[in-house]
Amino acid sequence: MIQIRRTLSHVEDIHHEFGLVAAVPLRRGAIAAVLTNPFAGRYEPDLLPLMDALGPVGLEMAQHLLAAMDVPAARIQGYGKGAIVGAAGELEHGAVWHVPGGYAMRELLGWKPSHPDARAGTQPGNALAIVPSAKKVGGPGTALDVPMTHINASYVRSHFDAIEVRVPGAPAADEIVFVLAMSTGARVHARVGGLAAADIARWDGLR
Amino acid sequence: MLAQIRKLIVQVDETRLEMGRPVDPPTRRALAMAVIANPCAGHYVENLDALVAIGEELGGLLGQRCVQALGIKPGQAQSYGKAAIVGEAGELEHAAAILHPKLGAPLRAAVSQGAALVPSSKKRGGLGTAIDVPLGHKDAAFVRSHFDAMEARVADAPRANEIVVAVVVTDSGRPLARVGGLQASEIKGEDGLR
């Protein structure tokens, strides 16, 4: 059921956006995997087998992305995911990515209260926030703006971001592009207030 | 650094399957791009030495980033290419100054050897403009299996006063190459052609 045709990794260092040059550049990365869409050209009522089969694919992609970004997992502060379905598929085929794509990064970055990094009364776990997502049906080279938010609290305003991902030549009609994205921090000149990462207090994945 | 870099981007494109057939080993192409300020933007500048020096610096930096991203030894690199997109307050000659006089030597050092011409393309463009970076075998320009191109594009660049400089290094030719011509195994690698 799983046939990976191609992968594209993308890592960028943002030094500034016409403001002060960041002491440590913001690093953002995305990985796209181009898979054969096993449901292309027909209506398949049961999509759950693909969702299950994508579990290991997601984890491998997350590990590949972290290696390409060349930072320890502890430096990842933002994440997002997405899918671009080729013309012979339907949007619902992209929706199968919600569980395995989100699970993959939360598995890689997450930890529970028993972890040595856990701080009693402050941070009981990691990668607590929902992984934001976007999906669309499109032709080869279609660009997808993959939304990104803070990994522990969705309302952290400095980490609301998006990274444009595009694979030249894909997806063909019978392909799906699955995407994971991660970042090491806030927007490079974030300054519009709201909840700051340092003020996360509820640890409920939201605030 | 001479270059004022706003963004540095590295991509690796790996093809494992083409038309249902395994590509084994997979073909891999690495693209490194720097988004830099154009010191000559906005008015006519006769002497472009500043851009020539930036090109020399970026040839090494971007070439090394590609080799590093592929996880190969420099000698395992097989093909290369370069390109630049000049923002609208600059001229095409600015791209030429970066690409042609001095970028090649440090790029060749990064991939070891490189007897062949580094194929190039250039254009003026706005934010998100795509450029196809032409590729050729680094030691023999006539190797047909390695004629290729990789698309380079930065969503938010170049601004009017910026230049996007791109270098591509591969460790392979096209997936399932089968249109004959000079084979990589047949080259002498002395004159840069065959």
User: Which ipTM was obtained for this model?
Assistant: 0.89
Across chain A, what does the average pLDDT equal?
95
Mean per-residue pLDDT, A114-135: 86
Task: Indicate the residue type of B36.
Answer: I
pLDDT band for position A116 (50/70/90)? Answer: confident
Task: Tell me the count of A-B CB pairs closer than 8 A.
Answer: 59
Q: What is the CA radius of gyration of chain A?
A: 17
Q: How far apart are CA B154 and CA A164, in angstroms?
A: 9
Q: How far apart are CA A102 and CA A119, in angstroms?
A: 24
Question: Is position A69 within any domain?
Answer: yes
Q: How far apart are CA A41 and CA A93, in angstroms?
A: 12
Assess contact for A187 and A162: CB atoms under 8 A: no
Backbone angles phi, psi at B34, to 5 degrees: -120, 135
Question: Is position A205 within any domain?
Answer: no
Question: Is position A159 within any domain?
Answer: yes
Name the residue facing A12 among B8, B130, B151 (closest C-beta).
Answer: B8
Instruction: Decide: residue A18, CB within 10 A, 0-12 exposed, 13-18 middle, 19+ buried.
Output: exposed
Q: The CATH number of the domain where A11 resides is what?
A: 3.30.1330.110
Q: ∠ CA A157-A150-A97 to the nearest 5 degrees?
A: 125
Q: How far is CA B1 from the centre of its chain?
A: 20
Q: How far apart are CA A96 and CA A80, in angstroms?
A: 15
Q: Which DSSP symbol is given to B55?
A: H
Mean per-residue pLDDT, A136-152: 97
Mean per-residue pLDDT, A132-155: 96
Per-residue pLDDT tens digits for A4-30: 999 999 999 999 999 999 999 999 999
Cβ–Cβ gap B155/A164 under 8 Å: yes
Report the DSSP beta bridge partners of residue A147. Answer: A162
Q: How far apart are CA A133 and CA A97, in angstroms?
A: 9
Cβ–Cβ gap A7/B14 under 8 Å: yes
- The secondary structure element, H or E, covering residue A59 is helix A48-69
Name which of B4, B8, B133, B148 to mutate to probe chain A: the one with the most chain A Cβ atoms within 10 A of its Cβ: B8
Closest chain A C-alpha to B188 CA, distance in angstroms = 32
Reply yes or no on whether the pLDDT at A121 is more than 80. no
Name the residue facing A13 among B8, B11, B12 (closest C-beta).
Answer: B8
Name the residue facing A5 among B5, B12, B16 (closest C-beta).
Answer: B16
Assess contact for A145 and A132: CB atoms under 8 A: no
Write down the pLDDT at residue A100: 96
Name the residue facing A6 among B6, B8, B16 (closest C-beta).
Answer: B16
Chain A residue numbers touching B6 (CB-CB < 8 A): 14-18
- Residue A91: count of CB within 10 angstroms of its CB: 11
Q: How far apart are CA A185 and CA A133, in angstroms?
A: 18
Backbone angles phi, psi at B3, to 5 degrees: -75, 135
Per-residue pLDDT tens digits for A24-49: 999 999 999 999 999 999 999 999 99
Q: Is A14 at the interface with chain B, CB within 8 A?
A: yes
Domain of B55, in residue numbers: 5-186
Report the DSSP beta bridge partners of residue B131. Answer: B152
Question: Is position A19 within any domain?
Answer: yes
pLDDT tens, residue order, chain B (194 aa): 899 999 999 999 999 999 999 999 999 999 999 999 999 999 999 999 999 999 999 999 999 999 999 999 999 999 999 999 999 999 999 999 999 999 999 999 999 999 999 999 999 999 999 999 999 999 999 999 999 999 999 999 999 999 999 999 999 999 999 998 999 999 998 889 99
Question: Is position B191 within any domain?
Answer: no
- The secondary structure element, H or E, covering residue A147 is strand A143-150
Task: For residue A37, give Cα distances in angstroms to A2, A30, A56, A61, A141.
Answer: 9, 21, 17, 17, 17
Question: Is position B192 within any domain?
Answer: no
102-131 of A, contacting B, C-beta below 8 A: none
**Number of structural domains, chain A?**
1
Write down the pLDDT at residue A58: 97
Domain of A62, in residue numbers: 4-199
Write down the pLDDT at residue B190: 87
Reply yes or no on whether the pLDDT at A112 is more than 90. no
Chain B residue numbers touching A167 (CB-CB < 8 A): 13
Backbone angles phi, psi at B95, to 5 degrees: -65, -40
**Number of structural domains, chain B?**
1
Q: Is B29 left (phi over 0), alpha (psi -120 to 50) or beta?
A: beta
Reply yes or no on whether the pLDDT at A193 is more than 90. yes
Assess contact for B111 and B67: CB atoms under 8 A: yes
Q: The CATH number of the domain where B9 resides is what?
A: 3.30.1330.110
Q: Is A164 at the interface with chain B, CB within 8 A?
A: yes
Question: Is position A207 within any domain?
Answer: no
Reply yes or no on whether the pLDDT at A168 is more than 90. yes
Residues 6+ apart with CB under 8 A from A117: A74, A111, A123, A126
Chain A residue numbers touching B69 (CB-CB < 8 A): 9, 11, 68
Q: Quick one: tokens of A105?
A: 């990064």
Q: Which DSSP symbol is given to A21?
A: P
Name which of B1, B4, B5, B11 to mutate to probe chain A: the one with the most chain A Cβ atoms within 10 A of its Cβ: B11
Its pTM stands at 0.92
